[in-house]
Amino acid sequence: MRNIQRAMIRLNFVRTLRYSPSSWHRRRAIGAGAPSCVGRRCAHSMDDMLKRTVAPMPTYETRDKSPPPAEASSLEFMRFYGGLERPQKLELLDKLSAQCGVDHRGVSELAAKLLEAQQRDLGTVLQVEDRLRYSLTPRYKLLLSHISRVEGGVKFLVDLRADVLEIISSQACDSPHIRDLNGALKSLLSEWFSAGLLQLERITWQSPCETLQKISQYEAVHPVRNWTDIKRRVGPYRRCYAFTHSAMPGEPLVVLHVALTEEISDNIQSIVREFSSLDAEEDIKKINAAVFYSISSTQAGLQGVELGNFLIKKVVRELQGEFPHLTQFSSLSPIPGFTGWLLGLLKGARGGGLLTGTEWEEVAALRPALMRLCAWYLYGEKRRGYAINPVANFHLQNGAVLWRLNWQADTSARGITASCGMMVNYRYFLEETTANSASYLGSKVIATSDQVQNLVSQFQKMSKL
């Protein structure tokens, strides 16, 4: 059986890597073969379809007594949407969000009644508040909820939100109704994908072939090169974990790769390029640290839904159960965006105090300059008071310490281009993560090591910030 599995991976691996996640999304779209519509006829058919599939809001008095719409309504909407091209999808979502949202006149009337009710007894105030709360529910939320109950419905809504996010990010539509639809979808998905409803799965070489293929396909940090590479990443001294959900069987939602090492790694090539034998027996005496070297979200539609934080915490508990002596937990993280920030900062900055005269003249002397610049980028560059770098912000929210900046930690072309070859360790001191997280989220304070703080101080002294 194992030989068959190996052969299947060899045969399908290259074929799998040819397809991006977006192309998989297109191939899986429900009703992909449905006829498309154009022009006025398309708009007319959209209006008719929405009338059939988006049920009126039950009155407040009958909200718990009204029977749910027929399953056929949800399926019709899914098939119709799946058969549209991108411009028509945008048009349908615009119609859905604008025409099937909140009854604004009814909300205004209830808001006025709530003001009048302030002079009456508390029971009356609470009842009017409850009516107002119910009236703020957009009508399309009922459709979304019913879609989630049919087979394939949750995956459809995850992909639907991915489309909404693409519309917003590309500025193809600036409608506030679209943004409100995005908020409603995110709220629903956050409930459906809460930590208590997720299953932790360890991925091994014995996992289903399709799962291994998807783990390879979704790897966004350090691309998998071949079938031997993925075997090593789930082999000795390595662990791979994923969150799954019963509503999306066979779909890993977020994937975490871990290296079990003697000390906290400062170089990614030692993890993804240098391996022990594929059949080696793990020596527990050589396992003193767990290094999280890649975490990848696989579903664009779950952006902003907290999964990675829970996955790291769950994996830490899992590893502590397997290795009770294990106390060192750290990431080895890329620094996306540093090079772009640096080029912008240095543009026209010659003589501006960022580099010394010697550093400008001697390329070999750039290491200390780049190290302090990168330390400042991670520590000092902010958006709304939080770290502008998304990877830094993720780990700092989780309560990690900005612990060590590593020179020539990723000498691949990708690493050089993104961050001048540097990487960073975010260290998880388990007894301090809760306090660190609260301090960062509440007071926007970043916990750092002496190494990082010294580099930041050097940058501030040089640049007079």
Q: Is residue 26 part of a domain?
A: no
Contact (Cβ atoms closer than 8 angstroms) between residue 131 and residue 120: no
CA gap 128, 119 in Å, rounded? 13
188 and 168 in one domain?
yes
* Alpha-carbon distances of 333 from 218, 231, 261, 325, 424, rounded to whole Å: 17, 22, 16, 24, 5
Question: And the tokens for 374?
Answer: 């990168």
pLDDT of amino acid 241: 97
DSSP string, 87-134: HHHHHHHHHHHHHSS--HHHHHHHHHHHHHHTTS-HHHHHHHHHHHHH
SS3 237: coil
419 and 399 in one domain?
yes
434 and 335 in one domain?
yes
State the first-to-last Cα distance of the chain, in angstroms, to the nearest integer.
64
Q: Is residue 126 part of a domain?
A: no
List of residues 6+ apart from 250 with CB closer than 8 A: 208, 210, 211, 214, 244
Residue 44 falls in the annotated catalytic set = no
Contact (Cβ atoms closer than 8 angstroms) between residue 358 and residue 365: yes
Domain that holds residue 409: 196-462
Based on the structure, what is the number of domains in the chain?
A: 2
Instruction: HSE, CB side, 13 Å, CA atoms: give it for residue 159.
Output: 23
Q: Is residue 50 part of a domain?
A: yes
What is the side-by-side strand order in the sheet with 328-331?
Answer: 198-202, 238-245, 254-261, 289-297, 328-331, 423-428, 401-406
Q: Tell me which DSSP letter residue 285 carries.
A: G
184 and 273 in one domain?
no
377 and 228 in one domain?
yes
283 and 177 in one domain?
no
212 and 142 in one domain?
no
Contact (Cβ atoms closer than 8 angstroms) between residue 5 and residue 209: yes
Interaxial angle between packed helices 86-99 and 71-82, expressed in degrees from 0 to 180 and rounded to the nearest 10: 140
**Domain endpoint, select from 193, 219, 236:** 193
Contact (Cβ atoms closer than 8 angstroms) between residue 258 and residue 222: no
236 and 175 in one domain?
no
Catalytic residue among 333, 419, 437, 449: 333
The CATH number covering residue 160 comes to 1.20.140.90
pLDDT of amino acid 420: 92
335 and 225 in one domain?
yes
* Alpha-carbon distances of 232 from 24, 97, 290, 299, 349, rounded to whole Å: 25, 47, 16, 25, 45
| pLDDT tens for each residue of the chain, 465 residues long | 444 344 444 434 333 333 333 333 333 333 334 445 555 556 678 999 999 999 888 888 888 887 777 889 999 999 999 999 999 999 999 999 999 999 999 999 999 999 988 988 999 999 999 999 999 999 999 999 999 999 999 999 999 999 999 999 998 788 899 999 999 999 999 999 998 899 999 999 999 999 999 999 999 899 998 888 999 999 999 999 999 999 999 899 999 999 999 999 999 999 998 666 677 889 999 999 999 999 999 999 999 998 999 999 999 999 999 999 999 999 999 999 999 999 888 775 554 566 666 665 565 678 999 999 999 999 999 999 999 999 999 999 999 999 999 999 998 989 999 999 999 999 999 999 999 999 999 999 999 999 999 999 999 988 765
449 and 437 in one domain?
yes
CA gap 88, 101 in Å, rounded? 19
pLDDT of amino acid 12: 45
**Domain endpoint, select from 177, 193, 209:** 193
**Domain endpoint, select from 146, 163, 193:** 193
CA gap 438, 435 in Å, rounded? 5
Residue 245 falls in the annotated catalytic set = no
CA gap 138, 107 in Å, rounded? 11
SS (H, E, C) 39-96: HHHHHHHHHHHHHHHCCCCCCCCCCCCCCCCCHHHHHHHHHHHHCCCHHHHHHHHHHH
pLDDT of amino acid 351: 44
Q: Is residue 235 part of a domain?
A: yes
Nearest to 201 by CA among 255, 282, 278: 255
CA gap 204, 257 in Å, rounded? 11
Q: Determine how β-strand 254-261 pairs with β-strand 238-245.
A: antiparallel
Q: Is residue 376 part of a domain?
A: yes
Q: Is residue 119 part of a domain?
A: no
Catalytic residue among 216, 395, 437, 443: 395
Write phi, then psi, for 253 (nearest 5 degrees).
Answer: -90, -40
**Block residue for tokens 């027996």:** 281
The CATH number covering residue 366 comes to 3.40.630.150
313 and 414 in one domain?
yes
Instruction: HSE, CB side, 13 Å, CA atoms: give it for residue 35.
Output: 5
CA gap 396, 375 in Å, rounded? 14
Q: Is residue 120 part of a domain?
A: no
CA 110 to chain CA centroid, Å, is 38
443 and 392 in one domain?
yes
Q: Is residue 286 part of a domain?
A: yes
Q: 0.85 cut: is pTM over it?
A: no
pLDDT of amino acid 362: 62
CA gap 252, 86 in Å, rounded? 26
